[in-house]
């Protein structure tokens, strides 16, 4: 499935902030840049704020129904003071931003992730979730074709399927 820049990469940054709760600033920055953000540095204070914001973002991924998810996203949008405008920086074609280019990295990160989750909540709110493997807890944005992803990674899915297979073998023996 193809998402727009905010619903796609911004939602991926949101999931990354939720999943990297013990990360160093350099690790957070690498994740953000890999997902398409243009920030070039992240101070320890900014990283701490991003991690705290990630704790708030988790509730959106954990929400069990669309109305709750939308309500949580609306609070994030209000708290991030999103103000959409069209930008054309760095020779890029016109695209939507949710924080001014003069805003600090903290404000831009909050607006970017809240905007991404808002687009995802509007386009297909069931395409985000928490890994179904007991004890995992990582969140994900489902970009699979059929939209039925239940695990954060192939590794978690494989662990569950192998455990289920072994349980069937033991119960039939």
Rounded Cα gap, residues 115 and 5, in angstroms = 10
Phi, psi at 22, each rounded to 5°: -110, 20
Rounded Cα gap, residues 41 and 30, in angstroms = 9
pLDDT beyond 70 at 33: yes
pTM, two decimals, is: 0.87
**Six token digits for residue 50:** 């991003």
Rounded Cα gap, residues 98 and 12, in angstroms = 16
Phi, psi at 43, each rounded to 5°: -75, 170
Range 135-142 average pLDDT: 96
Does the structural domain 6-126 have CATH classification 3.40.50.1220?
no
pLDDT in tens, 129-138: 999 999 999 9
Is the Cα torsion angle 11, 53, 21, 63 positive or negative in sign? negative
> Smallest Cα–Cα separation from 141: which of 3, 15, 1?
15
pLDDT value at residue 7:
62
Rounded Cα gap, residues 128 and 142, in angstroms = 6
> Domain-by-domain residue ranges, the chain?
6-126
* Predicted confidence band of residue 87 (pLDDT cuts 50, 70, 90): confident
* Predicted confidence band of residue 1 (pLDDT cuts 50, 70, 90): very low
């Amino acid at each position: 499935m193809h998402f727009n820049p905010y619903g796609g990469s911004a939602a991926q940054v949101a999931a990354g902030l939720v999943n990297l709760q013990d990360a160093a600033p350099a690790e957070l920055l690498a994740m953000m840049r890999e997902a398409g953000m243009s920030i070039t540095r992240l101070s320890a204070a900014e990283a701490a704020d991003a991690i705290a914001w990630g704790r708030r973002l988790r509730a959106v991924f954990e929400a069990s129904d669309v109305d709750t998810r939308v309500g949580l996203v609306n609070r994030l949008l209000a708290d991030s003071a999103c103000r959409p405008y069209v930008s054309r920086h760095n020779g890029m074609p016109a695209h939507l931003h949710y924080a001014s280019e003069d805003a600090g990295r903290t404000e831009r990160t909050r607006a970017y992730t809240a905007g991404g989750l808002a687009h995802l909540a509007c386009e297909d709110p069931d395409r985000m979730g928490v890994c179904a493997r007991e004890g995992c807890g990582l969140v994900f944005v489902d970009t699979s074709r059929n939209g039925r992803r239940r695990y954060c990674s192939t590794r978690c899915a494989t662990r569950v399927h192998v455990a289920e297979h072994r349980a069937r073998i033991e119960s039939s023996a």
